[in-house]
Amino acid sequence: MGLDWCLVRCKCGHSFGHRKGSNAICTICGSSEVKKVHQFSDSRSLANAVAKANLPIELTKEMSSRLESKSAIEENRQQGPVSIRERVRRTLRSATDEQGVLRESAIRRELDGAGLDAESWESIIGGAELEGILVRCSNDSWRWV
Ligand SMILES: [Zn+2]
């Protein structure tokens, strides 16, 4: 299967999808100055990625400025920018199944889907265990504390 579906970002900040071979024109400002962000083999994954890419622009800005003003000191003391921490936490939430269990495969899939490095899942989980957020319940699964 070819990677025919592209997620692109316009210089205006809008992300949208287009099919390889066609011209990518921004649906907001009409510019063709776009940067390819990611490629997908099917239109459904692309649609999900587009939705994710456009939502967080406003939300992340709003959330991180709110969080930063609230707990900037504590966050800085702990581990770096709020946005990454929050992104990881949200990713872990969405990797949780109906039983409240996180499995390695789901964690890797969600990290990948969120544009984070799936290969760093072990250190992410390790960090969450140290923080007392997650507790291991088998070789490849964890629960929220
Ligand atoms: Zn644009």
CATH 3.90.820 residue ranges for the chain:
1-72
Higher pLDDT, 24 or 80: 24
The mean of the pLDDT values for the chain is: 83
> Where are the extended beta strands (E) located within the chain?
5-10, 15-19, 34-40, 101-103, 134-138, 141-144
Model pLDDT for residues 22-41, shown as the tens digit of each residue:
889 998 899 999 999 999 99
- Residues in contact with 126: Cβ distance below 8 Å, sequence separation at least 6, in sequence order: none
CATH 1.10.10.10 residue ranges for the chain:
81-145
d(CA 102, CA 136): 9
pLDDT of 86: 81
Distance from residue 98's CA to the centre of ligand 1 (Å): 38
Distance from residue 45's CA to the centre of ligand 1 (Å): 22
Distance from residue 25's CA to the centre of ligand 1 (Å): 8
What type of residue is 138?
A: S
Distance from residue 70's CA to the centre of ligand 1 (Å): 32
pLDDT of 78: 54
Distance from residue 63's CA to the centre of ligand 1 (Å): 23
The residues that bridge with 10 in the sheet, in sequence order, are 34
Fold of 1-72: Rubredoxin-like (3.90.820)
Look at the block and give the residue holding tokens 């316009």. Answer: 10
* Mean pLDDT of all residues in 6-33: 90
Distance from residue 67's CA to the centre of ligand 1 (Å): 28
Query: pTM of this prediction?
Result: 0.43
* Mean pLDDT of all residues in 56-77: 57
d(CA 11, CA 107): 31
CATH node for 81-145: 1.10.10.10
Distance from residue 76's CA to the centre of ligand 1 (Å): 34
What type of residue is 33?
A: E
Distance from residue 33's CA to the centre of ligand 1 (Å): 8
d(CA 18, CA 13): 16
* Mean pLDDT of all residues in 116-141: 88
Distance from residue 89's CA to the centre of ligand 1 (Å): 30
